């Protein structure tokens, strides 16, 4: 069974739990005492991932780290529909890769701001918040144009991709980092759609979509 080195309050670990739940893949969560133990920085953990960060998966001896890389692997291996990582469609693969790189930006701004506020990480909070707003503005406008074209997700096509999945946790938890989504209506509608995907699970701080 897949082992996921996991921390309940980590957005990047949540991304893996989300995809595994949506794809209905059983896995074992191996809890890492991220805070206050900083176990991911321990010498023992660095034998698993020398970079000292989570998540990491161990799929029957195959070890992979980096949240967005793991999403690619899990979707490529465990999604028989081939929709979450649309490898058969070069244009959609390109779009997925592009928005996954964009999601590195939201992780490094919106989710970094959350670490500043909640756990007092020594980042420049105002710079993180300003960076997140710059990216949210771009994403909100993109999603607005997608809606005009009858599309619900960041990439073209009728089905969400791992790019949506990589972006969603950074966006939905942004208020914990002091980043309001008040000014991004298309972004808010997209988070509502995302929460209605079959197999969706929450993490602390995220509530399910309201019925209806």
Partner 1 sequence: MAGMAGANGECQNRAVLDQWHPLGAIDEAEPNVVHVTRLLGESISFAVTPEGRSAVWRTRGDLAAGMPVDPESVAGTLPSRCEFLYVWTSLGDPPERSFDIPEFFEPDRRNFNACTIGLRTSAPRAVENFLDMGHFPFVHDGLLGSEPRTEVVDYNVHVDGDTNEVWATECQFWQPAASATATEGQMVDYVYRIMQPYSILLYKSCPAAPERMDLIGLFVQATSEEHCRGHMFLSLIDDESSIGHIRRFVQTIFAQDVPIIENQNPKRLPLDPQAETPIRSDRASILYRRWLSDLGVTYAVIPAA
**161 close to 96: Cβ distance less than 8 angstroms:** yes
Nearer to partner 1, 50 or 204 (CB): 204
Nearest distance, CB of residue 13 and partner 1, angstroms: 12
Cis omega (within 30 of 0) for bond into 97: no
Contacts for 69 with CB less than 8 Å, ≥ 6 apart: none
Per CB under 8 A, residues contacting partner 1 are 8-9, 31, 33, 35-37, 117-120, 175-176, 178, 203-205, 207
Select from 72, 36, 34, 35 the least CA-distant residue to 54: 34
Strands 27-31 and 2-6, how do they pair? parallel
Nearer to partner 1, 150 or 211 (CB): 211
Phi first, then psi: give them for residue 74, nearest 5 degrees: -65, -40
For 132, 136, 172, 183, the CA distances from 145, given in Å and listed in that order, are 20, 14, 20, 16
Nearer to partner 1, 203 or 209 (CB): 203
Nearest distance, CB of residue 204 and partner 1, angstroms: 3
- Which two three-digit tokens encode residue 39? 């176990």
Nearest distance, CB of residue 84 and partner 1, angstroms: 27
Nearer to partner 1, 185 or 208 (CB): 208
Nearest distance, CB of residue 15 and partner 1, angstroms: 16
Nearest distance, CB of residue 29 and partner 1, angstroms: 10
Nearer to partner 1, 2 or 172 (CB): 172
């Amino acid at each position: 069974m897949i082992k996921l080195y996991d921390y309940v309050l980590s957005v990047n670990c949540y991304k893996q739990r989300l995809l595994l739940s949506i794809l209905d893949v059983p896995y074992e969560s191996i809890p890492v005492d991220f805070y206050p133990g900083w176990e991911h920085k321990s010498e023992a953990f660095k034998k698993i991932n020398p970079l000292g960060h989570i998540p990491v998966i161990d799929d029957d001896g195959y070890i992979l780290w980096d949240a967005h890389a793991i999403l690619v692997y899990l979707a490529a291996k465990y999604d028989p529909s081939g929709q979450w990582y649309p490898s058969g469609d070069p244009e959609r693969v390109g779009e997925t890769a592009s928005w996954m790189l964009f999601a590195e930006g939201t992780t490094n701004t919106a989710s970094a701001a959350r670490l500043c506020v909640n756990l007092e990480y020594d980042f420049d909070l105002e710079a993180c918040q300003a960076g997140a707003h710059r990216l949210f503005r771009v994403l909100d406008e993109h999603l607005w144009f997608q809606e005009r074209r009858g599309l619900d997700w960041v990439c073209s096509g009728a089905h969400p991709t791992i790019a949506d999945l990589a972006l969603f946790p950074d966006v939905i938890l942004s208020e914990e980092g002091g980043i309001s989504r008040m000014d991004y209506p298309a972004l808010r509608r997209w988070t509502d759609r995302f929460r209605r995907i079959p197999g969706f699970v929450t993490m602390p701080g995220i509530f399910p979509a309201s019925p209806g």
